[in-house]
Structure 1
Amino acid sequence: MAVLTESDVRTALSKVIDPEIHKPITDLGMVKSVTIGDGGAVEVGIYLTTAGCPMKGEISESVKKAVADVPGVGIINVELDVMNDEQRTELRRSLRGDSAEPLIPFAQPGSLTRVYAVASGKGGVGKSSVTVNLAASLAARGLSVGVLDADIYGHSVPRMFGNDAKPTQVEKMIMPPQAYGVKFISIAQFTQGNTPVVWRGPMLHRALQQFLADVFWGDLDVLLLDLPPGTGDIAISVAQLVPSAEILVVTTPQQAAAEVAERAGAIALQTRQRIAGVVENMSWLELPDGTRMDIFGSGGGQDVSERLTKAVGATVPLLGQIPLDTAVREGGDNGIPIVLGHPETPAAKALEVVAAKLAVRERGLVGMSLSIDTTRR
């Protein structure tokens, strides 16, 4: 019978992935000690990033499960400790480098993350519902997805994800919570109750900058920014901070709403951003007899698509039309996106169509060096 060794246990621990950082705990310096006693008893010391780490129970159980799979292991005991300041600094350096000022990873030349700024000309068109459902659908397809709730005044993403967890902070680095496999951050996680945020433009810009730079997003395939209505401070800040962000316009079929939505998309003419497409929400109500009632009129999404195509000189597709469904509203209130809670409904299927079109797009290569020497010899 093979003798149980510390190396065997550490090899098993290398399979334990930190639920916030998504890297092996052995690579993060989280394994404090491994002690093997009589009868195969194993005691493992684990460093947590902070004393109030919300994932400590999950980490402890994952450690026990991994060690239990090692042949010859008997009783398992996990002792939790907390990193000191030096260890947290080293962790931050290993993840973010040693830059004095945090950088926005999505604005760097080597970034492959597709960034979509979900915009609307006016409120009440279901922009946040579209954002949350697209994020959940993309994550369910196996993509690494993040959502930044950039609607500082009208934040709603935590509610729609059904998760009010607070972020964990390691020095100046913020670990975002997750819901349905989606990392998300919102000003709601930093305020008490339903306290309103009363800020002017410079504060809004700084908040957005911190969410982009200080949050450890990891290697994302897609980042969705839920923008406030209109073409104000946040829309301008997004263009400045993440120039490669593409605009995803949400409208309703109503002509009055479509005209306002067109303005939100036309900001691309001034910011030089690309428009990914248009999503028409609340397109119609499907009645029990199979007929459709156009409660908000019809044609708004197609009109916005055609007018923006003409304005920017490039194709701006109508990515999808989402029918009215009370399940969308119920999912938002209950924190269960309709694409997960009721995937069989027409609204969920329509949202899946939009997500599928975004999912098949290749990760960006804009600004990346191809290492080609163009010098003639």
Structure 2
Amino acid sequence: MVDTTSDALRAALRAIKDPVSGRDIVTAGLVEGIEVRGGLVQATLLTDRAHAAAMEPVRREAEALLMRQPGVTNATTILTAHKPPAAPAPTHGHGHAAPGGKALLLPDVKAIVAVASGKGGVGKSTVAVNLAVSLARLGHKVGLLDADIYGPSLPRMIGLSRKPEVKNDKMIPLQAWGLSCMSIGFLVDEETPMIWRGPMVMGALEQMMGQVAWGALDILVVDMPPGTGDAQLTMAQRVALTGAVIVSTPQDIALIDARRGVRMFEKTKVPVLGLVENMSFYCCPACGHRADIFGHGGAKTEATRLGAEFLGEIPLLLDIRVASDAGTPIAASAPDSDAAKAYAALAVRVWEKVSGTTAARGSGPRIVID
């Protein structure tokens, strides 16, 4: 039976020497903690500002050693003190560096779009998945990253549950519906609770960006967790986000939270591409009667108030929910349906905005099903 307990991994780390004392890093008291969750490992090494630069090779060596241990799917090692300011490392791709001089992750991805909301329950993940599928159907090379560590929904929504392969110390994204996909849900059991502190969440996110063989992509759609916490901050700091799409339902309580999401991205200097009103209205499939169950038009009004573009309306349709639960996104499984056409219109507008090919600015195409 594979032994991936923290004690076993701590014992393995005795093979690494502390450059200051010459003792192994465990005996020297440098290993502050090791957390293990479903094959994911994060180790924390103690240091201070005076020795942080010297500890960086030790950190890398420890991370590589942990990656080689049986039963470990991915590992990350962090220092407890920031490195002293240094000249920014040369970067490529986006040509920027993250705070602290670190090169930004995902340099070969042309555009990175976060699909976000201020609260849960607004259908953000459904919008993210179908937006990504619709972008792929337009002929673009698309990746889809599930950044929700606590409640990953991507495996269920695209119908995949197997673990990714690892080659040359990098995970290979799973392929589905024309997308390259990655989620923490591929690495842990569906019913395993993710009881992680902030650093673990941030470390797992960095792994899924920096230790995954994404390759060259036209666009990466990131399904963000609800709220304005560690994951949002990590994304804003570690990748060059092209922009954010904010998803809300029409009712006032959701719009209040959407407003917080917009302000958060503004504070982190990430452009807001616009707002989408999800579950905008309901049409009875039997009689065609329309009902504004959650109200209607609130997101459009809010977009105007915030000075953001209104990207359109997505109706509340039973077929969208059924397709998502079945792991067959409606944008792919029923491309000629009204719902798929709504997502396709959204994808066209998002691509126009991130690629700079928009013929005319303004309100953009309305995503309305009559």
Q: What amino acid sits opposite 1:181 in the alignment?
A: G
Question: Cα offset for 1:359?
Answer: 2.8
Taking structure 1 as reference, are residues 243 and 358 closer, same or farther at Cα in structure 2, changes over 3 Å only?
A: same
- Equivalenced residue count is 259
Greater Rg over alpha carbons, structure:
1
Contact 1:162 1:334 in 2 (8 A): yes
Which whole-Å deviations, capped at 9, do the CAs of 1:152-204 have from their partners, x for residues lacking one? Answer: 11100011011113211113211111101101111111112421111111111
Aligned equivalent of 1:30: none
Q: What amino acid sits opposite 2:339 in the alignment?
A: A
Mapped to 2, the partners of 1:196 and 1:106 lie a distance apart of: 36
1:150 and 2:147 matched = yes
Mapped to 2, the partners of 1:330 and 1:104 lie a distance apart of: 44
Q: CA RMSD in A?
A: 2.3
Mapped to 2, the partners of 1:212 and 1:269 lie a distance apart of: 23
TM-score by length of 1: 0.65
Corresponding residue to 1:357 among 344, 349, 365: 349
Q: What amino acid sits opposite 1:295 in the alignment?
A: I
Question: Cα offset for 1:151?
Answer: 0.6
Mapped to 2, the partners of 1:106 and 1:194 lie a distance apart of: 38
Question: Cα offset for 1:348?
Answer: 1.9
Mapped to 1, the partners of 2:109 and 2:211 lie a distance apart of: 19
Taking structure 1 as reference, are residues 114 and 330 closer, same or farther at Cα in structure 2, changes over 3 Å only?
A: same
Which whole-Å deviations, capped at 9, do the CAs of 1:98-135 have from their partners, x for residues lacking one? Answer: xxxxx998754575611111110110100000011011
**3-state DSSP of counterpart to 2:278:** strand
TM-score by length of 2: 0.66
Question: Cα offset for 1:232?
Answer: 0.8
1:262 and 2:254 matched = no
1:162 and 2:159 matched = yes
Aligned equivalent of 2:293: 295
Taking structure 1 as reference, are residues 185 and 282 closer, same or farther at Cα in structure 2, changes over 3 Å only?
A: same
Question: Cα offset for 1:255?
Answer: 1.3
Contact 1:146 1:224 in 2 (8 A): yes
Mapped to 2, the partners of 1:134 and 1:188 lie a distance apart of: 20
Contact 2:249 2:255 in 1 (8 A): yes
Aligned equivalent of 1:132: 129
Aligned equivalent of 1:188: 185
Mapped to 2, the partners of 1:141 and 1:149 lie a distance apart of: 21
1:334 and 2:326 matched = yes
Aligned equivalent of 1:56: none
Mapped to 1, the partners of 2:91 and 2:223 lie a distance apart of: 17
1:1-377 paired onto structure 2 within 5 Å = 108-109=95-96, 111=108, 113-287=110-284, 288-309=286-307, 316-361=308-353, 363=355
Question: Cα offset for 1:363?
Answer: 4.0
Mapped to 2, the partners of 1:307 and 1:106 lie a distance apart of: 35
Contact 1:252 1:301 in 2 (8 A): yes
Mapped to 1, the partners of 2:216 and 2:109 lie a distance apart of: 9
**3-state DSSP of counterpart to 2:202:** helix
Contact 1:120 1:264 in 2 (8 A): yes
Taking structure 1 as reference, are residues 302 and 345 closer, same or farther at Cα in structure 2, changes over 3 Å only?
A: same
